[in-house]
Amino acid sequence: MPLSSAGLDLLKKSEGFRNHAYLDAAGIPTIGYGHRILPTESFPNGIDQAQGSEMLLRDLAQAERAVKRLVRVALAQGQYDALVDFVYNLGPNRLAASELLEELNKGRYDAAAVELLRWDHTGTKENASLKARREAEFHLWHNPTLRDEVVV
């Protein structure tokens, strides 16, 4: 099951679109909707919205594959969406090594949701935009309109 429109809206809102390269909060060269620029990529003239959307779809597919590979329990659509946004933002290795995933794979859904909220720092400092994003993921996780559908 793909990311819902609510999940995509959260991701796009959280990332924003920038047509030129910039350093994200962690100092990583980024462009478009949070696309991390690879050493083999160069965008001296920036990108347009269509190129940004293409990058987003490729990066999103990687995040979705990681969630499907790592999670061993059934997920409601909102839970899936929150995890895909988390992985898109922080990468699959962070999820793989997290207490969040451990709690989730033990079937402790509420404890896993609380773990989302702990990922609001850049280094040792709380980051307001990450805090807002994690809170939005937490609310998406608990969204009653996205609970009926189950992702395996």
| pLDDT tens for each residue of 122-131 | 889 999 999 9
Catalytic option among 15, 59, 81, 137: 15
For 22-47, what is the mean pLDDT?
A: 95
15 flagged as catalytic: yes
Closest CA to 79 of 12, 3, 16: 3
Residue 150 pLDDT greater than 60, yes or no: no
Mean pLDDT of the chain: 94
44 versus 146: which is more confidently predicted? 44
| Beta-bridge mates of residue 125 | 122
Catalytic option among 9, 24, 103, 120: 24
Residue 152 pLDDT greater than 60, yes or no: no
24 flagged as catalytic: yes
Contacts of 16 (CB under 8 A, 6+ apart): 33, 34
What is the CATH architecture of 5-151?
Answer: Orthogonal Bundle (1.10)
Break the chain into its structural domains and give their ranges: 5-151
| 18-23 and 29-32 strand pairing | antiparallel
For 74-94, what is the mean pLDDT?
A: 96
Q: Which single residue is written with the structure tokens 């969204």?
A: 143
Alpha-carbon gap, residue 131 to 112, rounded angstroms: 16
Lowest mean pLDDT among 41-45, 134-138, 145-149: 145-149
Predicted local confidence at residue 63, as pLDDT: 98
